[in-house]
Structure 1
């Protein structure tokens, strides 16, 4: 961490304690030491394989219904078709589920894949989708960070950030349920490629947030050149352990990185209130009411702010943001409302949050830079159950894409008449992997990188793109 303070610890005659100096020598932004940052900078200069792109993955945890989202099948029998009805989209002959009017109105800027199947019907195998079924079993964000570097070489922003609801509401502690364990396993799996490439979780609070703060009065920053000189003097007097080797030329850069607002990107209070209001979903439903249901205990009405935070992080250099939205396991048993009642809470929230995000990034000229991916670990059964819900289903999974410079305004693939299996070419998590990697990297050059472990190269190149997107 970088923590420089003029009020704590004993001072030497030069004004800064040895302990403070050692803290400076271990600058960390989401786990990155100063020396590592500079190594990443150097390696990035020689890696033209990394494109100026970013991915925001909105993961609908629990398994969203392919029918009530983007394939309503209103001509099917009552036990099949969408309970929420349908909404005519901007694309002729294409309808979305009835809780998605805003997304339907901008369907010309979206791509819906109706023949995507996770091949998974178990919450515990969510990594099949979240990791694109890559051989390392690490999430896509960790794989990206392992290739592109754990932090942005330009801003120091962590390159792999996860945004649960707690990240935008300090002090929030959602109740525990099965999704809590799934989230924990997802976070743990993010270290499969090494701790430096694991998720940075801004909801950690305490010291985790403090690691992104420059603790020095603003007035002293005006004299930062003198401070750097002072640090340089102490660096030369430090123990000859190699900790500060080759660091002097980059001390100015280290300060500049923090001063550009890396830590401020995590603070929504610094956002224009009008933009915050445009994203806000907190008035769509009562979170307390939703949390009464066991399978929705980790649901929140904060998705709008989560998506806003994702945009802010990408603007500050983050390459991969995973946004978690829970509560989509709608069996309509005693753990969720009858007749897929949860869709009337969570559907409009996704509709509002995602449409606000897409309008915002377009206004900022970021539509081609940011690829938004919306999916979950599985889909739901075509036939509605006895209690009005849908159970786990592996053969079709909803998938929505937007931006990233890919081909939008289309429906890719078709499902059968019951939205139970693909009627056209089946796309899998490996196709999602290939599409994401091709968006973020020049994959051909990734194959040629001798400084990357072969298992990482093999994982990044294991997928095949969804060809209609390119």
Structure 2
């Protein structure tokens, strides 16, 4: 396990690459990335691609995949467990569709990292690495941070078929002021490897992006700014010029990518059957999952689908009215879209080569607070892996009687990501490089035994 994100040694001889760079006019980082992406398609993993479903706010383990019907008074929830397609495994009664597909899933019930802070948890669960704090408050996007898993896959796999190797939709993960939390872009690797973010508050995935149509004057579009993309990077610690440069870069990237009709088709749903649209659900999360499937089929290596509402009243940050929110708004949408994605991938014959991961930034407290909610809890939470070489129909890890602490097979989040990376063919000795050519090793844990 690499203890340092930025070890001093280089994997290849620096002199040889500098000599090659002098001959080809390429920089060392460009040469290193070219070598990495040229071999990226042959990464020896069971999964060719990954769809990461990220439940913004932190979903309660007790009301999803680790029910505790016999928990003590004050911690016991209102929901009951139901049987699944696997004998002896139970999950929440409000996930009935997923219960029928549990044979595809590995339920990891003992994941932990220890932080109760949103930004730290987001960083952990989008990079698999600990955030190194440099200032007070919630950690926000910073070029000193390690890269997201999407950025790593973009570096290693390289863009192809007119599409970036990593996409995040329908929105970035952040707070109600549009500040973006750390862990979502390429960090020290530089903006070249940032996932493609497509974002508009009113945009429904599958619909045309605001102001964009293929085969029109791209320069005119750029001048009018008619694509509403990730303009609000809103890192108030950076100067205005840097924010404007980042905005312009995101805009140029999207225009370049989506100017291709073939690329644009992957984001549209007009050729999907009505029953497929109905299967996923007519909401942002459902449609995002369907677009994610289309992007994977079109050659994208990693698609991150965050829960689509930033407001705490509409995401998994259920400090109040926890049970009615979970029952009526949150779990039905997750159950429909997540199960639809698994079934659709299976029906199309690509579940075995597509890793699907479900997680959030942390779990929720065992104790129910005075507002009928559960609070932040990084001491243990649940994650789900399916497809992509995952051995389904099993539970890994066990928590105590109230779902508050792991008591068997604890899984640090670095181990969760080591498992995901292994499925994608990335090991602890697989380097990516920062903008100076310095190697960075992103796998710091050990793959969870028995999952792959």
**TM-score above 0.5, yes or no:** yes
In the TM superposition, what whole-angstrom CA distance separates every residue of 1:175-234 from its partner, at most 9, and x where no partner exists? Answer: x9835545x234764444211111212335899888994559xxxxxxxxxxxxxxxxxx
Shift of 1:80: 2.1
Q: What is the rounded CA distance, in whole Å, between the counterparts of 2:57 and 2:48 in structure 1?
A: 28
Q: Does 1:160 align with 2:160?
A: no
**Paired residue for 1:202?**
198
Q: Does residue 1:311 correspond to 2:293, yes or no?
A: yes
1:81: how far off? 2.5
Q: 1:46 to 1:209 in 2, by over 3 A?
A: farther
Is 1:138 equivalent to 2:117 in the alignment?
no
Structure 1 residue aligned with 2:175: 178
Q: Distance in 2 between matches of 1:380 and 1:347?
A: 15
2:401 aligns with one of 417, 438, 441: 417
- Compared CA separation, residues 338 and 258, structure 1 to 2 (3 A): closer
How far, CA to CA, are the matches of 1:448 and 1:145 in structure 2?
A: 10
Q: Does 1:446 find its partner at 2:443?
A: no
1:360 matched residue in structure 2: 344
CA distance in 1, matches of 2:196, 2:130: 21
Greater gyration radius: 1
Give deviations 1:337-386, integer Å, cap 9, x for gaps. Answer: 36453443101110000111111000111111111111100100011112
In structure 2, relative to structure 1, the CA distance for the partners of 1:405 and 1:302 (3 Å cut) is same
Find the counterpart in structure 2 of residue 236 from structure 1: none
More strand by share: 2
- The residue aligned with 1:147 is 156
Aligned to 1:268: 269
Judge conservation of contact 1:264–1:270 (CA < 8 Å) in 2.
Answer: no
2:280 touches 2:287 (CA, 8 Å); kept in 1? Answer: yes
C-alpha contact 2:190 2:435 (8 A) present in aligned 1: no
Partners of 1:197 and 1:85 lie apart in 2 by 44
Q: 1:128-173 CA distances to partner (integer Å, 9 max, x unpaired)?
A: 1111116743221112212222x12xx121111111269xxxxxxx
Which deviations, in whole Å up to 9, do the C-alpha atoms of 1:276-332 show, x marking residues without a partner? Answer: 12111x4xxxxxxxxxxxxxxxxxx42111100100000001101110114000011
Q: Deviations over 1:74-118 (max 9, x none)?
A: 122242223222222122222111210111121111110011113
* Corresponding residue for residue 392 of structure 1: 376
Match of 2:82 in 1: 87
Which of residues 36, 57, 60 in structure 2 aligns to 1:62?
57
2:359 equivalent to 1:375: yes
Alpha carbons 1:118, 1:377 under 8 Å: kept: no
Equivalences, count: 358
Paired with 1:364 and 1:350, the residues of 2 have a C-alpha distance of 21
CA contact (8 A) 2:154 2:166 kept: yes
Q: CA RMSD in A?
A: 3.5
How many angstroms apart in 1 are the aligned matches of 2:44 and 2:211? 30
- For 1:43 and 1:137, locate their aligned partners in 2 and report how far apart those are by CA, in whole Å: 18
Gapped runs of 5+ residues in structure 2? 1-28, 132-144, 218-255, 310-314
Structure 2 match to 1:247: none
Whole-Å Cα distance in 2 between the matches of residues 319 and 177 of structure 1? 23
Q: How does 1:242-391 map to 2 (within 5 A)?
A: 258=260, 261-280=262-281, 282=282, 301-325=283-307, 326=309, 327-332=315-320, 337=321, 339-391=323-375
Identify the residue that residue 434 of structure 1 maps to in structure 2: 418
Task: Check 1:441–1:196 CA distance in 2 against 1; reply closer, same or farther (3 A cut).
Answer: same
- The C-alpha deviation readout for 1:432-452, integer Å capped at 9, x for no partner, is 221121111253773599999
> Structure 2 vs 1, CA of residues 428 and 448 (structure 1 numbering), >3 Å: closer, same or farther?
closer
In 2 relative to 1, CA 449–274 (structure 1 residues): closer, same or farther, beyond 3 Å? Answer: same
Offset, 1:43? 5.9
Structure 2 partner of 1:98: 93
C-alpha distance in 1, partners of 2:399/2:448?
Answer: 16
Q: CA contact under 8 A between 1:371 and 1:401: conserved in structure 2?
A: yes
Where does structure 1 lack aligned partners over 5 or more consecutive residues?
A: 1-35, 167-175, 217-253, 283-300
**Partner SS state of residue 398, structure 1:** strand
Contact 1:127/1:137 (<8 A) preserved: no
Distance in structure 2 (CA, Å) of the matches to 1:188 and 1:422: 28
User: Which piece of structure 1 moves more, 337-346 or 433-442?
Assistant: 337-346
Higher helix fraction (1 or 2): 1
Q: Is the 8 A contact 1:76 1:417 kept in 2?
A: yes
Match of 1:193 in 2: 189
TM-score, structure 1 normalization = 0.68
